Amino acid sequence: MTRRLEGKRAIVVGGGQTPGTTTGNGRAVALTFAREGADILVVDRVLESAEETAELVRKEGGTAAAHRADITSEADCAGIMDAALEALGHVDILHNNVGIVPAGRTEDLPVERWRQGFEVNLTGMWLTCKAVLPHMRERGTGTIVNISSMAGLLAGGETIAYSTSKAAVHALTRNLALEYAPHGVRVNCVAPGMMDTPMGVDATARAGGVERAEVAARRAAMVPMGHQGTSWDVANAALFLASEEAAFVTGVVLTVDGGFTLNAVAQ
């Protein structure tokens, strides 16, 4: 490791883990940031899951604390900032990783599910940013990395709510980047593609009642590079955007998809 985040303090929202699944994006980011020198506050809706990630960081010699929050609650998001100041002293990096997939076509999708998708995928992300940005603005420095999806760049009848909410995350990222650039704050976004993660593979297999291996093989066949990515690919992209190597990068949507979106456009 090159210790690219040495001395930095980072909040990783959605840093927990579904038990018994492959490593998800949030946990991979927390571990990668810690390995690169950052102190971490792991935030998750399930405290035990956040604590498990924090303990993994500590076992590797890093510094981490855990905090429970529901990002659809403005009070909980304000509490994230309070907890970060107590545990870390200040905040250099905010990483937003929470998301759900409200599947269904327009005529079949309940309005409650549509609203829930936007509450979690968009409004919750805006609320965490809203809670942390005054601190970053006052310090004159900071970086935010939002996790979106290649779905925000494409269209699909079964994922209209998901795709639309993720496209809105891209717009949120660009607007925050423009608004806070004069204050020394950078805001960027990673848009993963076909990833071998709990949300990408495990949840799809459960929903379809099929074997995990079948889902993984089907997804891999859709990628021009011939295989799915992993949470570590997402974490490495987030690391670049959070680091000083990206000091002149703001407002970008970085696709990490093995060429999937290129293939989709070509078709």
How many Å apart are CA 237 and CA 143, to the nearest integer?
14
Choose, from 33, 162, 180, 260, the residue flagged as catalytic. Answer: 162
Q: What are the backbone dihedrals phi and psi of residue 49, each rounded to the nearest 5 degrees, phi first?
A: -70, -40
Task: Specify whether 180 is catalytic.
Answer: no
- Residue 233 and residue 222: Cα distance in Å, rounded? 18
| Distance from C-alpha of 128 to C-alpha of 15, rounded to nearest angstrom | 14
Compute the radius of gyration of the chain from its Cα atoms: 18
Q: What is the DSSP string of 225-262?
A: TSS-B-HHHHHHHHHHHHSGGGTT--S-EEEESTTHHH
DSSP-derived letter for residue 181 is G
Question: What amino acid positions are annotated as catalytic residues?
Answer: 162
